[in-house]
Chain A
Amino acid sequence: MKPIIHSVLLLMAVLAWPVSAQEQIVFSSELNQTRYQALVTELRCPKCQNQNVADSESSIALDLRRLVFEMIEQGKTDQEIIDYMVARYGAFVLYRPEHSSATFLLWYGPFILLAVGVLAFVLIIVSNRKRRRTPQ
């Protein structure tokens, strides 16, 4: 029985090998690892646009992950890394676009529409009430 268990365990270890060998990156600190995780989930994969860099297995996403890792270990700030990516891939790579005049409507458009809606709602209520008060 014991040899069987051993061989099964060995087989499991062998099967798990490609997964663990895929990306063995060692961070110099816990903070760097957290920053890395945050950045790769915020960046959009240029090849497969509905995935972030963390999820994608395309070759370009692998490169970008490695690059983010290297830049973090070199002591670059998050903003520097994001600027580097935007310079090469455009605002497109950001899942959370930066606040600027070009993205004003994107960020605040829904709130403006909501305000317009509330205003219209109030106006209609008020005018209806006035009409009800005035005798027909």
Chain B
Amino acid sequence: MGEGGGFTRTTTFRLTLLHLALTLAGTVLLGAIAWWATVGFAARQASEEVARGMGVLGQSAALSGLRGVALSIEARLAADRAGVEYYLLAAPDGQRLAGNLATAPPEMGWQTIEVREASGATVPVIALRAALSGGATLVVGRDLSAVRALESRLLGAAGWVAFGAIVIGLAGGYLIGRGIARRTAAMDRALAAVAAGDLARRLPVAGRGDEFDTLSARINAMLDRLGEVMAALRSVTDDIAHDMRTPLTRLRQRLEEVRRAAGEGEAAKAAAAAEAECDAILELFAALLRIAQVEAGAQRSAFGRFDLSGVAEAVAEVYAPAAEERGQTLEAEIVPGIEGFGDRALITQLIANLAENAVRHGREGGAVRIALSPAAAGGVELSVTDDGPGIPEAERERVFRRFHRLDSARATPGSGLGLALVRAVAGLHGMAVTLEDAAPGSDMPGLVARVFIPPPPA
């Protein structure tokens, strides 16, 4: 799970939003149905009663004229205890003949009007205005207050329902999301550990048989397979090491016997030279296998805490006389007491390889510097600096490859494996190695190799 703004990019977040939108849509639909069934029903009922009243009064007009209608209206109003009915019967000249409405609504047909009561309050009324034969006007209305009250209550209730839906939707989304996030985070942690070289680590299986379990089980099966392949590769490597080194060893033994038997003459010299060549082949072979083993991450068993400052000091001391032979000064700026974590022997070799390169490629009569100090961002920085020809920027990535040697370095001895091992050891320990110009812009820019060493685990 990412931090900060990263969360909004997660599937969990999107699912939460979708969940919320669906919950709201459901609530709106439910509200519309409730509206239709209550407010709509009451309004329709009022209209029907108005229409019915109009029908009855219309018949009464046909049978007994305007006088009959007026009497019917008086009788209805007298019986209207709830005070919800409104009527007006007006003569063709506009004079009110009967009813409790002061004036007729402006238009013919259905409309909603506001009626001012004697108390001063206004009442919403649904009214139907019709013309009787002879030019008289008849208006029938009904109080809508109850419908309006129902309407506002329902709106209030709908507000609460929507609020509840949002809260429940968000909480539900959060809970579901957290559950998913927890499981993906556990998977993520396990996979990160595997990527960091812990090939024995497996993804957690909750035992619920859900899709996460299925996925974890599949990935675990894949990791098992990967482990088998790695083991097979290692055993092949070991077999090659054994099968090829054994005959080479015998060859070396024979040469040694030849040299001893030859005494002191030319033959002994030739045998000794052949022995040295044999050693060089074997050393190259051993270095390749060593890099392969380190890259395979096979060596964590030898990890432990050690005095990193002491190791750096020792390397500086070892190479000081070699630097002196080339007229160089070797400066060691090593902060004492820094603890390292990892394979001590490999880290010693890492520092030694960098020191060896610096002494070998540095300017004759120049300076080589080995520095170790706590880094600003936590952890430790080791740097080895020389003042030689440096490495062009385009070549800096390539020099870490096996057997890659710069054209300018072909004349100097070396296997082309030193930096490959440095990178392999750094990778095993989670360290970062960079190469830079020590004196940018100069025609002898030199080289500074920096190794950033992360803090040891607590």
| B partners with A | no
